[in-house]
Structure 1
């Protein structure tokens, strides 16, 4: 068994197509298929459900895939650490981020880029549940997500900030001049909310229940930009995290009013798989998160 066989398997699982996986790996399709067959023979299990086309991985293949991702990640981590010693680190890091935390990602990526100018970043918007799954299968290197509402397991975490909530309205809205509104008052408005697969939405629904009211949104979206656009139109209000103001800015024409009765806050932070040693880029990101939180 060698690292190339594991990379071929990971590519096949990602592309779900032998030819596309071979193209990504810069080999021919027969070469990729042959090396995966060799891996099956060496391990003594069937990894791929074969037919005229790719039909997925066997149960054993799913287990092999998980180990393959971990081994390849450890191999990449070793390479990055050695490159860092020579001052020539050229790796990349993938961050999965809950939508509400996207505005603060430069606070982490900026300092990391100063440390390693040749490192690249891939930042993807994900739900908190997706972040958990993708940390487990090494699809992402780190996640920015809620830490205390639905606790993470087998993860190392660093708190970044406390998320609080605001009612976003257009400047001509009757509430626009107020410093605060209650959750019960917010429930009476035509609302735009994030979709139910978002942990933010579960937090917001729980806050409305705590205020002894139920909010039935007229618009639901997994895009904060889409929600803000509906509010800008003047016909809706939206419950969103305070940090969203960093994205929309003061020129948006929206007012963000503090929500009270109850005052709700949750911790958002950085999460990575708890492993030793951590890859140097992930470890450095954790150091930045720790100093940022301080």
Structure 2
């Protein structure tokens, strides 16, 4: 039954029989047969069918929620048994918002030193994508914003508080100021993250509150692209202080705190809610609680 539930979850995610079969490494007839066998076993129709996938039935949506929990529990059981034999091994999968990518190494490097047989996969996502990936068991945990978005059923550990700086070339006129107000950025050519990023929505809110129309010259989901435009075009970007720090070394760039108001938002580890936690997640949560917030 576990295999059939896994195939059902793959179909619910892909919303396409062919793509789901490809993701599971089986043929489409094999996947279709497994879904029908699961329906017969449970005595309900799970999938609306026509010439193509037409969505889940109400019963299918409830089974999807149960299947996620069952799949997670089975995966956790296997991990706990493996950890008892071999210690923590395998791949820790993390989803991280772009502005926290520089800080994630502080967590992973210490965790790697304590567990040398563990490997890491880190991908950049929005907060919304991060939460969806945790729910779908695509990642083990994430690092993202702890406020402003509905979190759902998760466990969180605060890591640090995000504050903002304007990053510019040293020869920029605004660089003569020790600190800036949000209102000082009016009339400046800005490059910012895309609107689907929570960081952008936070910054846009503070700019709008200062009476500034938010119309950046460049929008991107990459902090590297932002900094490249600052260096080559003389524009200004706004980043969290931790995210900006890595780009200031060896570059003709300066960062000026943006205040009035002094905005602050919490960044933390986000993990699926489950009791008991797997050995991997338990160790990760413990490491997060020792995170250097300075």
Task: Indicate how the Cα distance of structure 1 residues 63 and 268 shifts in structure 2: closer, same or farther if over 3 A, else same.
Answer: same
- Equivalent residues in 2 for 1:44-59 (5 A)? 44-59=43-58
| 1:186 matches 2:185 | yes
Task: Indicate how the Cα distance of structure 1 residues 202 and 21 shifts in structure 2: closer, same or farther if over 3 A, else same.
Answer: closer
- Equivalent residues in 2 for 1:1-294 (5 A)? 2-19=1-18, 21-150=20-149, 152-293=151-292
Kindly indicate whether the alpha-carbon contact (under 8 Å) linking 2:161 and 2:265 is maintained by their aligned counterparts in 1: yes
Residue 65 of structure 2 aligns to a residue in which SS? helix
Residue 217 of structure 1 aligns to a residue in which SS? coil
Distance (whole Å) between structure 2 residues aligned to residue 125 and residue 189 of structure 1: 28
TM-aligned CA deviation for residue 55 of structure 1: 4.4
TM-aligned CA deviation for residue 33 of structure 1: 2.4
Distance (whole Å) between structure 1 residues aligned to residue 47 and residue 70 of structure 2: 19
Q: CA RMSD in A?
A: 2.4
Distance (whole Å) between structure 1 residues aligned to residue 131 and residue 15 of structure 2: 22
Residue 49 of structure 1 aligns to a residue in which SS? strand
Give the TM-score normalised by structure 2: 0.88
Q: C-alpha deviations, 1:140-197, integer Å up to 9, x for none?
A: 3212111134463432211111111111112221223432122111123111122222
Q: C-alpha deviations, 1:209-251, integer Å up to 9, x for none?
A: 4445444322222222221111111331111111123442423
Q: C-alpha deviations, 1:103-137, integer Å up to 9, x for none?
A: 11112222332333333333222222222333334
TM-aligned CA deviation for residue 40 of structure 1: 0.6
TM-aligned CA deviation for residue 264 of structure 1: 1.5
**What residue ranges of structure 1 are gaps of 5+ in the alignment?**
none
Distance (whole Å) between structure 1 residues aligned to residue 16 and residue 212 of structure 2: 50
Kindly indicate whether the alpha-carbon contact (under 8 Å) linking 1:166 and 1:256 is maintained by their aligned counterparts in 2: yes
Distance (whole Å) between structure 2 residues aligned to residue 21 and residue 212 of structure 1: 48
Task: Indicate how the Cα distance of structure 1 residues 68 and 231 shifts in structure 2: closer, same or farther if over 3 A, else same.
Answer: same
TM-aligned CA deviation for residue 293 of structure 1: 4.6
Distance (whole Å) between structure 1 residues aligned to residue 46 and residue 120 of structure 2: 32
Distance (whole Å) between structure 2 residues aligned to residue 125 and residue 59 of structure 1: 33
Give the TM-score normalised by structure 1: 0.88
Kindly indicate whether the alpha-carbon contact (under 8 Å) linking 1:5 and 1:39 is maintained by their aligned counterparts in 2: yes
Distance (whole Å) between structure 2 residues aligned to residue 109 and residue 22 of structure 1: 34
Distance (whole Å) between structure 2 residues aligned to residue 98 and residue 254 of structure 1: 23
Aligned residues: 293
